[in-house]
Chains A and B, each alone.
Chain A
Amino acid sequence: MTKRVCITGTGIICAIGNNVPGTLDSLMYSRTGIGEISLLKTLLRGIIPMAEVAMTTGALMEAAGVAGQTCYTRTALLGMIAAAESVRSAGIEDIREYRTGLISATTVGGMDRTENFFSEYLADPKRGRLRDVVNHDCGDSTERIALHLGIADFVTTLSTACSSSVNAIMLASNLIKSGQLDRVVAGGNDSVTKFTLNGFNTLMILDKNGCRPFDENRAGLTLGEGAAFLVLESEEAAIKRGARILAIVSGYGNANDAYHQTASSPEGTGAYLAMSKALSMSGLDAAGIDYINVHGTGTQNNDLSEGVALERLFGNRVPPFSSTKGFTGHTLGAAGAVEAVISILSLQHGMIFPNLNFSVPMKELNIQPVSKLQQGLTLNHILSNSFGFGGNNSSVILSKPGIQ
């Protein structure tokens, strides 16, 4: 496996922007996407904040170019919009010119429509429109995107909770390095649903004030929705077609905490292992990392475990870090790709986007996140973390092209 994997395109839609430039703008001007629930019909509206994409499903259909068609879930529409942007930004005209795959990730799939179906169905098993449940499975949104973009060489979907879309980037990289595909559109999509909102609410890990990652007084996460995709290409294919290379995928790793189904271990074992694997693949030592886009959900448990793992790995030289979930909310299956796109913006513009809502350092840690926008930096290597239920921990290192 000697082939290098490049990133040549990015696309995103989330609570702070409907595309990459819009998202960058919000990040630079500290505009959060977290606010009162406005679209999702739930009892929790007005009680728990969320980071919704400020577009109705109808508006998303229009943006995706499928206005008036009723077969799309919100998850699929978000994915179609972001994936199309990534392919456009990569300057790809003929998707079939190279062996191209689509690897997506989601945790809720078509649940946004299933929950409506199920309520009618429970009242009477003969009721509920089947077209609202036929797209329930996680593969649906991926196939909608694949057909939308004309990708056919390999199409699959991952679901490993909140690390899902980093894992999509990992599989994509492995398939390119091993020569099975020349390029892959990889990422993830998740919409907010009552199912996930109530699920996290029963765990009592939703902060009523909006998430405050790495703050001593943090009280939970804030759910968000969105999609992000990256075009990964073998360096050979990218150079051959004269593509603009945005970043190199220089390392990645996945490890299992094997501690508890939902809680992270106090020693941050899984996080430590995932970051170590990524570093080892990249050939960098700990000092080579210029910035970490942490998982930083804002729950008591995650931030402590992740913080401990950072101190274990980097000792007293933990690189500058921040969680951008104060902007986007926690977009679950999309989070890894959302943060990979944000990390590439950091690489390109030499900026560290602030960890919003931070004021008091955690007493167990000697580190604190970057809480103000930093500009004019030279960032060569960025580590991005995404951790999920089932002890699933993933890290990826994105590097500036031409370095190393």
Chain B
Amino acid sequence: MTHVYINGTGIISPQETFDTALFLENPVIPVSNRLRCVEPVYREFIPAEMIRRMGRVIKMGVAASKCCLKDAGTGDGSGVALEIIPEMIITGTGLGCVEDTEKFLTSMIVNREEFLTPTSFIQSTHNTVAGQIALLLKCHGYNFTYVHRGISFESALIDAMTQLQTGAVSNVLAGATDELTNHSFAITSRMGYWKQKLVGTTGLLNDPRRGSIAGEGASFFFLENQQVPNTYAELRGIATMLRPESLQEIRNRLHSFLGTFGLTAGDISVVLLGLNGDPRHDRIYRDLARSEFDGVPQAFYKHLCGEYHTASSFAMWLGSKIIKRQHVPPVTMLNHAPGSIEHVLIYNHFRENNHAFILLSRP
């Protein structure tokens, strides 16, 4: 069986993550219910004439992908930076290009279907980010975009792994993008998604009130079928579930998933839990933490990136870097820190609807 390695990462998040040398040394702990990405200077990655037209999530996606390819290109140990054109581009997004969608919708409604211009409509298409990356790289390869709620990113990973393991290609650029806009925040606030108020110092997980904190991000990974000096981690596998009927069903899935790699829950060095501060959602993580991962080092991350459809891509960046650095940022730890880090398991569910496990191992 072909092994799949994470050989480059690029991520824009509400933390200072764009600089690959940093690893959450100075985390921003949220004091509001809404996190916004720390964005880089786009001129360094995107031609100026394109920046003006691009929606924010497109810029974030393109810049994160370029950062990822740069990271992969400098990582073979030769000291020479390679310009990498991936063989495939596969992305995931929960809501796509929301800002452009809202823009076109608003002008259509306000102008009563008259005097409209096409730019925001063109860019509202869900595969715009993947398409723009291909355009800038002149990459003619396979180009897919998944749009399935809380497993949009995992779907992209499953496709990428299948392509690599069947030998169709030797590398894939895989990633996820989601942006938070004023309208989408206002609408999801009305739906009760977010906490009304957050007292920063007490911490997200100690707040008994309903709701989480909203986030966004763009994360890309360069996946290859061979290990290089820059390899972060081995991507072992992904499992997804739609609306499991019980906690027991989730536990069973966990065991069968780990079992395919000859592992049990006790073998996991760190489990990254998608705890988001909403007691309605967190009870599932807490149950699993108690029943399956008692004594296993546990960490969480949504206080750093917020809750969004593809938040697990932030977790995969975190897990990859944890393995490479053999260090868990203290700001993420829930209990005791691990010793040697061999296996990182990510467990995430989006509003109890879409559940997913991602397993990373030390190469």
A residues adjacent to B (C-beta < 8 A): 1, 42-44, 106-107, 109, 114-115, 118-119, 121-122, 125-126, 130, 133-134, 136-140, 142-143, 146-147, 152, 154-161, 167, 171, 174-175, 177-178, 180, 194-195, 198-199, 201-203, 254-262, 269-270, 273, 388-392
Contact = CB atoms under 8 A, between A and B. Distances in A.
Contacts of B95: 136-137
9 contacts: A106-B147, A140-B149, A159-B145, A167-B144, A171-B144, A262-B122, A270-B140, A388-B125, A390-B125
Given A134-B191, A154-B240, A198 B127 contact: no
Contacts of B134: 256, 258, 390-391
A161 B165 CA distance: 27
A137 B149 contact: yes
A374 B295 CA distance: 71
B314 interface: no
A1 B143 contact: no
Contact of A198 (B89, B108, B143, B187): B108
A242 B118 CA distance: 51
Nearest to B309: A137
Contact of B140 (A139, A142, A255): A255
B259 interface: no
B140 A138 contact: no
B21 interface: no
Nearest to A127: B190
A104 to B, nearest CB: 9
B148 A261 contact: no
A358 to B, nearest CB: 28
A175 B162 CA distance: 7
Contact of B159 (A125, A174, A258): A174
B177 interface: no
Contacts of B112: 43
A174 B162 contact: yes
Interface in B84-137: 89, 94-96, 102, 104-106, 108-110, 112-114, 116-118, 121-128, 130-132, 134-135, 137
A136 B188 CA distance: 12
Interface of B: 89, 94-96, 102, 104-106, 108-110, 112-114, 116-118, 121-128, 130-132, 134-135, 137-149, 151-152, 155, 158-159, 162-163, 165-166, 183, 186-187, 190-191, 240-243, 309, 353-354
Nearest to A162: B125
A262 B183 CA distance: 27
B187 A159 contact: no
B127 A389 contact: yes
A107 B101 CA distance: 12
A130 B191 contact: yes
Nearest to A119: B109
Contact of B118 (A114, A125, A203): A203
Given A161-B127, A258-B137, 14 more contacts: A106-B147, A107-B125, A122-B106, A140-B149, A156-B158, A159-B145, A161-B126, A174-B166, A198-B116, A199-B104, A199-B118, A389-B128, A392-B127, A392-B131
Contacts of B102: 118
A146 B242 contact: yes
A138 B97 CA distance: 12
Contacts of A180: 158, 162
A80 to B, nearest CB: 16
Contacts of A43: 112-114
B151 A156 contact: yes
A155 B150 CA distance: 11
A82 to B, nearest CB: 19
Contacts of A1: 166
Contacts of B121: 195, 198-199, 202-203
Given A174-B162, A202-B121, A261-B132, A194 B148 contact: no
Contacts of B105: 114-115, 118, 195
B135 A171 contact: no
A378 B58 CA distance: 48
A178 B149 contact: no
B257 to A, nearest CB: 13
A202 B149 contact: no
Nearest to A122: B109
The 6 tightest CB contacts between A and B, nearest first, are A390-B131, A199-B121, A159-B126, A139-B149, A138-B147, A202-B118
Contacts of A122: 106, 109-110
Contacts of A260: 135
Contacts of B96: 138, 159
Contacts of B190: 126, 130
A389 B128 CA distance: 8
Contact of B142 (A139, A146, A254, A261): A254
A121 to B, nearest CB: 7
Among A147, A158, A260, A388, the one with the most B-chain Cβ atoms within 10 Å of its Cβ is A158
A126 B189 CA distance: 11
A159 B127 CA distance: 6
B135 to A, nearest CB: 5
Given A43-B112, A118-B105, A258-B134, A139 B147 contact: yes
B362 to A, nearest CB: 25
Nearest to A262: B122
A103 to B, nearest CB: 9
A254 B158 CA distance: 17
Nearest to A44: B113
B135 A194 contact: no
Contacts of B109: 115, 118-119, 122
Contacts of A158: 144-147
B144 A107 contact: no
Contacts of B145: 158-160
A333 B353 CA distance: 24
B143 A155 contact: no
A391 B143 contact: yes
